[in-house]
């Protein structure tokens, strides 16, 4: 069974260099970029992905973009309090929670509900990592290139030398005089 993956949207955008560059141009584009990367990463998983942003509407707004639940908090309510509430609800429903944020208060609230707490760097490295299948193909291709001498960065001299252990006592070479 999948788990609830809760993402503190603006915290990720503000603390990740790649999203910060997009945010300088347009905050909506940075939100869309984050959501698209989450879609690509978690599209074939059973996990429920929830991205929470600070909002300013009269009520909490919930949208679903393909498999991602996007929540904008209401006016005078922080995304942090929504994340804490979602962690409590997941705990009551016996679901595992995995949360990504650098916000200490949110991390403590989720940890109190026995949720896994991760930082921004862990999420961005997961989002930018190749799929498992692609990673395996890359490793295989690199191994084949090394094996056949096609990898210019591979240097045989850098590899440790393996010496065969001696087979026993050496025989005298006096026989062949």
Find the mean pLDDT for residues 139-144: 86
pLDDT in the model for residue 97: 93
Largest CA distance in the chain: 104
pLDDT of residue 69: 94
Q: From CA 80, how far away is CA 11, in angstroms rounded?
A: 10
Lowest mean pLDDT, pick from 39-43, 57-61, 139-143, 167-171 = 167-171
- 4-128 carries CATH number 3.40.50: yes
**DSSP string computed for 138-155:** HHHHHHHHHHTT--TT--
pLDDT (0 to 100) of residue 175:
57
List the domain boundaries for the chain: 4-128
* pLDDT score for 44: 83
Q: Which residues contact 138 (CB under 8 A, 6 or more apart)?
A: 130
What mean pLDDT is reported for the chain?
Answer: 84
pLDDT for the residue numbered 156: 58
Q: Give the 3-state secondary structure of residue 66.
A: coil
- pLDDT at position 62 is 92
Does residue 107 contact residue 14 with C-beta atoms inside 8 Å? no
Q: How far apart are CA 73 and CA 62, in angstroms?
A: 9
pLDDT tens track for 8-28: 999 999 988 888 888 888 888
The two structure tokens encoding residue 155: 């240097």
Confidence at residue 89, expressed as pLDDT on a 0 to 100 scale? 92
Instruction: Answer whether residue 159 shows pLDDT above 90.
Output: no
Taking the C-alpha atoms of residue 71 and residue 80, their distance in angstroms, rounded to an integer, is: 12
70-79 pLDDT per residue, tens: 999 999 999 9
pLDDT value of position 134:
85
Phi, psi of 55 (to 5 degrees): -120, 180
For the stretch 80-135, pLDDT in tens is 999 999 999 999 999 999 999 998 999 999 999 889 999 888 888 887 777 778 88
Amino acid 138: pLDDT: 85
């Amino acid at each position: 069974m999948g788990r609830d993956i809760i993402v503190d949207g603006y915290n990720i955008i503000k603390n990740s260099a790649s999203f910060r560059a997009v945010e300088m141009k347009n905050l909506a584009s940075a939100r869309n970029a984050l959501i698209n990367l989450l879609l690509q990463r978690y599209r074939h998983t059973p996990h429920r992905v929830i991205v929470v942003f600070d909002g300013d509407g009269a009520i909490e707004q919930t949208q679903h973009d393909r498999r991602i639940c996007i929540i904008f908090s209401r006016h005078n309510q922080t995304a942090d309090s929504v994340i804490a509430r979602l962690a409590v609800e997941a705990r009551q429903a016996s679901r595992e929670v995995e949360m990504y944020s650098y916000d200490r208060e949110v991390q403590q609230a989720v940890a109190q509900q026995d949720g896994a707490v991760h930082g921004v760097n862990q999420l961005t490295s997961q989002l930018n990592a190749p799929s498992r299948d692609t990673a395996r193909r890359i490793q295989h291709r690199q191994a084949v290139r090394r094996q056949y001498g096609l990898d210019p960065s591979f240097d045989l001299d850098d590899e440790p030398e393996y010496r065969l252990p001696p087979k026993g006592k050496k025989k005298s070479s006096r026989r062949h005089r």
